[in-house]
Structure 1
Amino acid sequence: MAEAGRICVTGAGGFVASWAVKLLLSQNYVVHGTVRGPGDEKNAHLKKLDKAPENLKLFKAELLDYDSLFASIKGCDGVFHVASPVPSTSVPNPEARIVELIQPAANGTLNVLKACSEAGIKRVIYVSSGAAVSLNPSWPKGQVKDESCWSDKDYCRATNNWYCLSKTEAESKAFEYAKGSGLDVVSVCPTLVFGPMLQSTINSSSLVLIKLLKEGYTSLENKLRMTVDVRDVAEALLLVYNKPEAEGRYICTAHMVKAQELVEKLKSIYPDYNYPKRQVIPSAFTEVRDEEHLSSEKLQRLGWSYRPLEETLVDSVESIKEAGLLN
């Protein structure tokens, strides 16, 4: 079958990116995947994907190394920029957070976009986050947040939400660059991403489920979670890439569920795990965040749909079990 096109996926070994690579290969795209170590065991799953031997090329690249990015992107039609720094354990001061998260996210994104301009890329899909939408205390109370809402950078700093700040900073810089350069950039902003893992390493959102199943917390804050399936995120990326009318930002979320409801759903299917002993009412700050209802209406108008929450939870848990992470 004829090649559908060539797409570079940055951070190809990660949770969302791996599913994007799998989907693209299934649709007869040739994929250039950037990873830090093409020979590393943690990227071995990519080489086992259907059509990978013929259509997947892994490139050693770093977000802050422009030349390595350009070499990966050259010859492609489009780019899915998925790679992003993920918060490590607590860092004692804001300056360290800026160095660890915010500068690599923003500067790395600009490197990718500059390489895209030089390589003549037709469209860039930037994977941002619902975190770049939701933290805005001046948004009208009770009003559902759409793509016109941006997280307030000063509020992110004041509340130590460094991941939110890094995603907001990087996405806003991406659109600034697009406006100045004429590069076609579209962003997708997923919320908390669940679903089966292709990779062998644990990603931060799958860890949320693992902890609910095995940590046996004495109590758990009953806060709102906005979730989406990783496979539906991958579908969203390809959808906005292929729709000529797609523009700007697209919130990607499917289900709003309180922590208690999530635990009860899991218990009804998997009764024998070490669930939290009791739920506690959210703090005042969490209640403010619980008003952050985001809408995927714009993405759905483009033709996107999502699977039931129960399907996502079952496939997530079965994947975690298969990986031996609940022993």
Structure 2
Amino acid sequence: MNGEGKVVCVTGASGYIASWIVKLLLLRGYTVNATVRDPNDKKKTDHLLALEGAKERLKLFKANLLEEGSFEHAIDGCDAVFHTASPVTLTVVADPQAELIDPAVKGTINILKTCTKVSFVKRVIVTSSISTVMFPRSPLGPTDLVDETTFSDPSLCEEKKLWYVLSKTLAEDAAWRFANANEIDLIVMNPGLVIGPILQPTLNFSVDVIVNFINGKNFFNRRYHRFVDVRDVALAHIKALETPSANGRYIIEGPIVTTNDVEKVLREFFPDLCNDDKREDIDMITKTYKLSVEKVKSLGIEFTPTETSLRDTVLSLKEKCLI
């Protein structure tokens, strides 16, 4: 029970990764102040209130990313803050600035500003994304090693209209600048495409990719994929808090698997599964660079095999009647 007597805040607590962070924190004895947009929205809160330890040690707070000061009550008195709240979509958006960039950048700074006002906060862990690593100005080649020193180029993201990637890249950059200027002990987690069992009652973007597979669609039209288990991602966040020497960024990503590998596991559950997308691989980036996850392994993270994550995703979707 590493967290006994400690109070931490989790923003965007009803989300996929955040729900697992809350679950693991409660199991480790922490008291959790969880922020949601609407504490009365049962669809967003019931799964949190049902967690083991929630009755005794979970408090819900209403907060909005774009409302300055709205996180103060939740963060006041906390030892640490996990900032996971940020919009996720890779589909076309009408207004990228309002829908993605502002909530990501302004929301992150809003949280960090609040942390400077309350004296208790010792460490802030921000959930970023592997996308802030994968799009440097020069395209990645087969011999390139991608690690925590690699950063996506905002102007390239803008040119290619990669609005989600741009929002996460700008938010992470703003976070580092603010943290350095204000002496905040900041850690940034950069997970890839997250799968595994869901706690919330609705589909989220990354698990929906698996639902697409089940429905015979290869969402990204890829032949090669990388997935990482939500339980590993959540635990990495908590280990980043509990390891005094933890610092900087942490890439959290699984090994490469092929579309055939994914389909093979899914066929155990859906024998007549067929994929309608057998076009040539247009996603060269997934297979042509090497990725280092040594840093996150140094926190004591052992990765769940992709097969296990896929099976557990499907079982969870069936249990929640989402497929």
1:276 aligns with 2:278: no
Partner Cα distance (1:226, 1:212) in 2: 14
Could you tell me how far 1:255 is from its partner in structure 2? Answer: 2.4
Partner Cα distance (1:190, 1:256) in 2: 14
Displacement over 6 Å in runs of 4+: none
The answer to whether the 8 A contact 2:7-2:33 is kept is yes
Pick the aligned partner of 1:51 from 43, 50, 53: 53
For structure 1, list consecutive stretches of 5 or more residues without a partner in the other structure: none
Counterpart amino acid of residue 291 in structure 1: T
Q: Matched residue of 1:109: which SS?
A: helix
The 5 A counterparts of 1:116-131 are 116-120=115-119, 121-131=121-131
Partner Cα distance (1:218, 1:19) in 2: 27
Could you tell me how far 1:217 is from its partner in structure 2? Answer: 3.8
Partner Cα distance (2:137, 2:214) in 1: 33
Could you tell me how far 1:155 is from its partner in structure 2? Answer: 1.1
Partner Cα distance (2:168, 2:64) in 1: 18
Could you tell me how far 1:294 is from its partner in structure 2? Answer: 2.5
**Residues 152 and 232 of structure 1, relative CA distance in 2, 3 Å threshold:** same
- Residue in 1 that maps onto 2:161: 160
Could you tell me how far 1:39 is from its partner in structure 2? Answer: 1.5
- Residue in 1 that maps onto 2:109: 110
- Residue in 1 that maps onto 2:248: 248
1:325 aligns with 2:317: no
Could you tell me how far 1:68 is from its partner in structure 2? Answer: 1.7
Could you report, residue by residue, the CA deviation over 1:269-310 in whole angstroms, capped at 9, with x for unpaired residues? 224354314522222xx2145424432111112322111112
Pick the aligned partner of 1:83 from 85, 88, 93: 85
**Residues 230 and 74 of structure 1, relative CA distance in 2, 3 Å threshold:** same
**Residues 208 and 38 of structure 1, relative CA distance in 2, 3 Å threshold:** same
Q: TM-score, normalised on structure 1?
A: 0.92
Q: Matched residue of 1:279: which SS?
A: coil
Q: TM-score, normalised on structure 2?
A: 0.94
The answer to whether the 8 A contact 2:140-2:288 is kept is no
Partner Cα distance (1:59, 1:241) in 2: 22
Counterpart amino acid of residue 13 in structure 2: A
Partner Cα distance (2:317, 2:113) in 1: 38
Could you tell me how far 1:264 is from its partner in structure 2? Answer: 2.4
Could you report, residue by residue, the CA deviation over 1:72-106 in whole angstroms, capped at 9, with x for unpaired residues? 100110000000012275234xxx11121011100
Could you tell me how far 1:126 is from its partner in structure 2? Answer: 0.5
- Residue in 1 that maps onto 2:98: 99
Could you report, residue by residue, the CA deviation over 1:110-131 in whole angstroms, capped at 9, with x for unpaired residues? 0000101111210000100001
Could you tell me how far 1:218 is from its partner in structure 2? Answer: 9.2
- Residue in 2 that maps onto 1:63: 65
The 5 A counterparts of 1:124-273 are 124-138=124-138, 141=141, 142-214=143-215, 216-217=216-217, 221-267=221-267, 269-272=268-271
**Residues 220 and 172 of structure 1, relative CA distance in 2, 3 Å threshold:** closer
Counterpart amino acid of residue 113 in structure 1: L
Partner Cα distance (1:266, 1:255) in 2: 18
Number of positions where the alignment pairs a residue of Structure 1 with one of Structure 2: 319
The answer to whether the 8 A contact 2:256-2:287 is kept is no
Could you tell me how far 1:139 is from its partner in structure 2? Answer: 5.8
The answer to whether the 8 A contact 2:8-2:31 is kept is yes
The answer to whether the 8 A contact 1:221-1:259 is kept is no
Pick the aligned partner of 2:305 from 276, 301, 308: 308
Could you tell me how far 1:163 is from its partner in structure 2? Answer: 0.7
Counterpart amino acid of residue 186 in structure 1: I
Partner Cα distance (1:24, 1:84) in 2: 20
Counterpart amino acid of residue 247 in structure 2: E
The answer to whether the 8 A contact 1:233-1:252 is kept is yes
For structure 2, list consecutive stretches of 5 or more residues without a partner in the other structure: none
Could you report, residue by residue, the CA deviation over 1:224-268 in whole angstroms, capped at 9, with x for unpaired residues? 22211000001100111111111110001122212232122322x
Partner Cα distance (2:140, 2:256) in 1: 19
The answer to whether the 8 A contact 2:16-2:204 is kept is yes
Q: CA RMSD in A?
A: 1.9
**Residues 219 and 230 of structure 1, relative CA distance in 2, 3 Å threshold:** closer
Could you report, residue by residue, the CA deviation over 1:55-74 in whole angstroms, capped at 9, with x for unpaired residues? 00000001111222111100
The answer to whether the 8 A contact 1:220-1:279 is kept is no
